[in-house]
Amino acid sequence: MSDEIKKNDYSADSIQALEGMEHVRKRPSMYIGDVGVRGLHHLVYEVIDNSIDEAMAGHCDTINTWINEDNSITVEDNGRGIPVGLHKKEGVSALEVVMTKIGAGGKFDKDSYKVSGGLHGVGVSVVNALSIHLTAVVHRDGKMWQQEYERGKALYPVKTVGETDKIGTTVTFTPDSSIFNITTEYSYDTLAMRMRELSYLNKKLTLTITDKRQKDDEGNFITESFYSEIGLAEFVSYLDGSREQLIANVISMEGEKNGVPVEVAMTYNTSYSENLHSYVNNINTHEGGTHLSGFRRGLTNTLKKYAEASGMLDKLKFDIAGDDFREGLTAIISVKVQEPQFEGQTKTKLGNREVTSAVSQSVSEMLNDYLEENPNEAKIIVQKVILAAQARHAARKAREMVQRKTVMSLGGLPGKLSDCSETDPVKAEIFLVEGDSAGGTAKQGRDRFFQAILPLRGKILNVEKAMQHKVFENEEIKNIFTALGVTIGTEEDPRALNLTKLRYHKVVIMTDADVDGSHIATLILTFFFRYMRELVEQGYVYIATPPLYLVKKGKQREYAWDDDQRERISLKMGGNVNIQRYKGLGEMNAEQLWDTTMNPEFRTLRQVTIDNGTEADRVFSMLMGEEVPPRREFIEKNAKYANIDA
Ligand code: 0RA
C-alpha cells in the first residue's frame, strides 16, 4: 500500500530513469563488458567518445584527460558544451537528461552526426551510474554550469557557478569501488595507448593524458600529447616502424560509398605476416566482419586483374590465392557506420551487409588509381605476391606433415615430452621449459599427476623472420603442436586453428628470470601470437615466475621475486643475511622449483592477455625485428598478474 503511494509521487519518467540506473548497477557487465581492469578503463573511453562525437561534428579539436591523485578521472573538451537548457519532454535540463537517462546518450539532438560510441556505445549515463561521484561542468554562453551526482543520482538541479570566456564540457568521475571491487587503479600506459590510437583514427584532434599520481625527474606530472596530421597513413608507419618497407610511401585513401565513410591506409613490408586491423566507429573490430571482407575482396580483385594484365603470371604453374595478396601487408581500415551491428564472441565483428560492397568498391577504385600511377611499386607488389604463392605451396606440404603426425599421435607424442597422467585437459598443465637441464629439474619437481614437461632446445625459431613453411618444418614447433594436441584445419576452414583436442588448459612458459630467459619467453610468445593466437585469446597461456633471490640466515630461508622484497626480508631477519641470486632455473633443485614456481598453492602464474591486438602486433615486430630493445619490460607489462590458482 505505502509503496503505491510513494510511486505516485514520482513521474513515470523519473521512475524509469531510476530503474535504468539501478539496472546498470545491478548488471554492470551488460553495459561495460566486465567490472575488472577492462571495464574500469572502458569508463574513460565512454566519456571520451562523447567528446569525439563533438570533434567529428567539427566543433572540438582538443580533449584533455587527467588521472587525478585519487584515481578519479577528468575529461575536458573544447566543444560547444552539452546543452543546459530545459529539455521539454523530460522537464529538466538537457545536461541532466544526458547524465542520468540510460540510453539518452545525446540522442535528443537528432541532427548531430553521431557515429562514435564505446564498445557497447552505452553513453555517459552508464559511467555516472557506476561512479560514486561525478561532476559535470559546462562552459557555455559566458557561464559555468554545474551538476553533481552520486551513483548516478543528481544532487541538485543544474546551477551556475561562475563566469567564463571558454566553451566546452568537463566531466570528473570516481568509479565506485563497490562495483569495481578488483581494482580502481588506472593504468597510465593503457590510457595513453588508447589516446595514441584515437589520435590516428581522428586526424587533427589533439588528445593529451596527464598522470597526477606520478612526477618525472624535473617534478612535472607524467604527460603525453597525441596528434596526427594525416591519420591512418601515420598509424601504418608507426605500426611498421621496425619492418623493412617494400614500397616508399604508405598507400592511403579516404572516401564515402553508399553513405559509409571509408578510410584505408596500407603498405607492404618484407615480412611474411599479414597485419590487418579494422575499426568501426573507432572501435577495434578484432573479429573482423563485413568491412574486412570488403577490403579483402577489393584488394584481391584489383591486384589479380592488374597482375594478369601485366603478363607477370603467365609462367606461373599454380594458382594465386587470396592470402598471397596479403603476405607482408600492413593495413588499417576504418569505417563509420550509423547503426553498427556487432556480432561474434566478443561483439567485435561487424555484421552490416551493406558495408562489404561499399568498402570493396572504395578499395578497388583507390588501388586501381595507385597501380596505374605507380608502375614500379605495382611491379614490386606483384613480385611479392608471386613469391608468397610459391612459399604457400611449400608451406602446405610442411603443414600437412605436422597434421598427419598429430592425427596419428596417439602413441606418437614427442619423445621429449614427459606427460602427466591426468587426461582431463581442464585440470592438466604443461610447462614449456628452456633447456634440457632445467627440463630435468622440472621433471623431478613436478606433480606428475597433472603437470607435463616439454623441454625446448635453446632458442626457438624466430617466427617473425621465418617463412611459413620453415616454421612448420621446425622440430621444436612441431613438438609444441603435437604435445598440445593442436591441429590446423576445421570443418569450415582448412587453415583455421583447431583447439578441440587441446590437451592442457594451462600452457606455462617457464624460463630463467634473466635477459636470455625473457628473450626465449618472447620467442615462444611470438610463436603463439602468430600461429596459435586463439590459445592466447582464450586465456590458456601463462608465464611462470621463478624467484630472483634466496635469502638465508641460520635456518631461516625465504625467496624474493624483486629487490624490494629481498630488502624487506633481509630487514625482517635482522640484517646480516646471506643472499643467493638465482641466475637460472638450473641453480634451483627440484624441491625449490616446486615450492616457488610450480606448486599451485604458492606460485604466481601470469596469464598472458592481448589488451590491444594492434599494439601487440607492433611490439612483436619491434622486439623480434632487427633492433634489440627492452624485451623484459615488455613481458612484464603484458603479462598480467592473475589469481588463477584459486
Ligand atoms: C549535442 C548538442 C550540443 C552539444 C553536444 C551534444 C555535446 C555533447 C558532449 C558530450 C561531451 N562533450 C560534448 N560536447 C557537446 C550542442 C548543440 C548546440 O550548441 O547547438
Q: Domain for residue 281, yes or no? A: yes
pLDDT of residue 18: 64
Q: Residue 9's domain is classified under what CATH number?
A: 3.30.565.10
Closest protein CA for atom 10 of ligand 1: 50
Ligand 1: residue of 61, 65, 80 to mutate (most ligand atoms within 8 A of CB) is 80
- Rounded to whole angstroms, how far apart are CA atoms 94 and 91? 9
DSSP string, 271-298: SS--EEEEEETTEE-TT-BHHHHHHHHH
338, 112 contact by CB (below 8 A): no
- For ligand 1, which residues put their CB under 6 angstroms from it? 50-51, 54, 77, 79-83, 106, 109, 112, 169
CB atoms within 10 A of CB 470: 17
Cα 66 to ligand 1 centroid, rounded to whole Å:
21
pLDDT digits (tens, 9 = 90+) for 558-604: 999 999 999 999 999 999 999 999 888 888 999 999 999 999 999 99
Sorted by sequence, the CB contacts under 8 Å of residue 583 that are 6+ apart come out as 512, 514
User: What is the maximum span of the chain, computed from C-alpha positions, in angstroms?
Assistant: 88
pLDDT of residue 12: 55
Question: Residue 441: which of 599, 598, 590, 546 has the closest Cα?
Answer: 590
Q: Are residues 533 and 420 in the same domain?
A: yes
Catalytic residue among 512, 595, 615, 617: 512
Give the strand pairing for 168-175 and 131-140.
antiparallel
Angle at 333 between CA 328 and CA 336, to 5 degrees: 175
Ligand 1: residue of 46, 49, 50, 122 to mutate (most ligand atoms within 8 A of CB) is 50
User: For the residues 33-42, what does the mean pLDDT come to?
Assistant: 94
Q: Domain for residue 635, yes or no? A: no
Closest protein CA for atom 14 of ligand 1: 81
Look up 365 and say whether it is catalytic.
Answer: no
Angle at 294 between CA 293 and CA 300, to 5 degrees: 85
pLDDT of residue 335: 95
Q: Domain for residue 482, yes or no? A: yes
pLDDT of residue 266: 97
Q: How confident is the model at residue 16 (pLDDT cuts 50, 70, 90)?
A: low
pLDDT of residue 473: 87
User: For the residues 230-246, what does the mean pLDDT come to?
Assistant: 95
For 171-215, what is the HEC assignment?
EEEEECCCCCCCCCCCCHHHHHHHHHHHHHHCCCCEEEEEEEEEE
If DSSP codes are grouped into helix, strand and coil, which group holds residue 79?
A: coil
pLDDT of residue 393: 82
Look up 512 and say whether it is catalytic.
Answer: yes
Does the pLDDT value for residue 89 go beyond 50? yes
- Rounded to whole angstroms, how far apart are CA atoms 616 and 275? 11
Q: Domain for residue 645, yes or no? A: no
DSSP string, 49-63: HHHHHHHHTTS--EE
221, 192 contact by CB (below 8 A): no
pLDDT digits (tens, 9 = 90+) for 346-389: 889 999 999 999 999 999 999 999 999 999 999 999 999 999 99
Does the pLDDT value for residue 619 go beyond 90? no
User: For the residues 16-25, what does the mean pLDDT come to?
Assistant: 81
pLDDT of residue 9: 44
Look up 323 and say whether it is catalytic.
Answer: no
If DSSP codes are grouped into helix, strand and coil, which group holds residue 165?
A: coil
Run of H or E including 23? helix 12-26
Q: Are residues 448 and 502 in the same domain?
A: yes
Q: Are residues 478 and 376 in the same domain?
A: no
pLDDT of residue 155: 97
**Taking each helix axis from N to C terminus, what angle separates 188-201 and 232-239, rounded to the nearest 10 degrees?**
130
If DSSP codes are grouped into helix, strand and coil, which group holds residue 229?
A: coil
Q: Residue 366's domain is classified under what CATH number?
A: 3.30.230.10
Q: Residue 446's domain is classified under what CATH number?
A: 3.40.50.670
73, 47 contact by CB (below 8 A): yes
pLDDT of residue 404: 60
Number of domains within the chain: 4
Ligand 1: residue of 137, 169, 171, 173 to mutate (most ligand atoms within 8 A of CB) is 169
Q: How confident is the model at residue 106 (pLDDT cuts 50, 70, 90)?
A: very low
Q: Domain for residue 625, yes or no? A: no
* Structural domain of 325: 232-389
- Rounded to whole angstroms, how far apart are CA atoms 260 and 247? 29
pLDDT of residue 1: 37
Closest protein CA for atom 7 of ligand 1: 82
Q: Are residues 564 and 534 in the same domain?
A: no
State the cell numbers at 118: 564505446
Catalytic residue among 76, 234, 419, 434: 434
pLDDT, averaged across the chain? 88
pLDDT digits (tens, 9 = 90+) for 132-146: 999 999 999 999 999
Is 416 exposed, middle or buried (CB count within 10 Å of its CB: 0-12, 13-18, 19+)?
middle
Q: Domain for residue 183, yes or no? A: yes
Q: Are residues 31 and 154 in the same domain?
A: yes
Q: Domain for residue 628, yes or no? A: no
> Distances from the Cα of 120 to the Cαs of 11, 73, 105, in angstroms?
29, 20, 12
pLDDT digits (tens, 9 = 90+) for 321-349: 999 999 999 999 999 998 899 998 888 99
Q: Are residues 51 and 189 in the same domain?
A: yes
Q: Are residues 367 and 443 in the same domain?
A: no
Give the strand pairing for 275-280 and 497-498.
unpaired
Q: Are residues 215 and 77 in the same domain?
A: yes
pLDDT of residue 638: 55
Terminal-to-terminal C-alpha distance of the chain: 47
Cα 82 to ligand 1 centroid, rounded to whole Å:
4
pLDDT digits (tens, 9 = 90+) for 471-486: 988 989 999 999 999 9
Cα 115 to ligand 1 centroid, rounded to whole Å:
14
H-helix segments, 57-109: 94-100
Q: Are residues 217 and 239 in the same domain?
A: no
Q: Which of 190-204, 229-243, 456-470, 589-603 has the lowest mean pLDDT?
A: 456-470
Q: Which residues of 305-343 are buried (b: 16+ CB within 10 A; e: fewer)?
A: ebbeeeebbeeeeeebeebbbbbbbbbbbbbbbeebebe
Look up 516 and say whether it is catalytic.
Answer: yes
Does the pLDDT value for residue 55 go beyond 60? yes
- Rounded to whole angstroms, how far apart are CA atoms 602 and 546? 11
pLDDT digits (tens, 9 = 90+) for 163-217: 999 999 999 999 999 999 999 999 999 999 999 999 999 999 999 999 999 999 9
625, 243 contact by CB (below 8 A): yes
pLDDT digits (tens, 9 = 90+) for 487-518: 887 777 777 899 999 999 999 999 988 878 88
Is the pLDDT higher at 436 or at 276? 276
Q: Are residues 257 and 153 in the same domain?
A: no
State the cell numbers at 407: 592425427
Question: Which of these three, 334, 361, 389, is where a domain ends?
Answer: 389
Catalytic residue among 61, 148, 323, 514: 514
Sorted by sequence, the CB contacts under 8 Å of residue 139 that are 6+ apart come out as 81, 145, 164, 166, 167, 168, 169, 170
State the cell numbers at 29: 557487465
Atom of ligand 1 at shortest range from CA of 79: 14
Does the pLDDT value for residue 317 go beyond 70? yes
Q: Domain for residue 158, yes or no? A: yes
Q: Are residues 103 and 147 in the same domain?
A: yes
For 234-258, what is the HEC assignment?
HHHHHHCCCCCECCCCCEEEEEEEC
Q: Are residues 495 and 516 in the same domain?
A: yes
- Rounded to whole angstroms, how far apart are CA atoms 625 and 270? 11
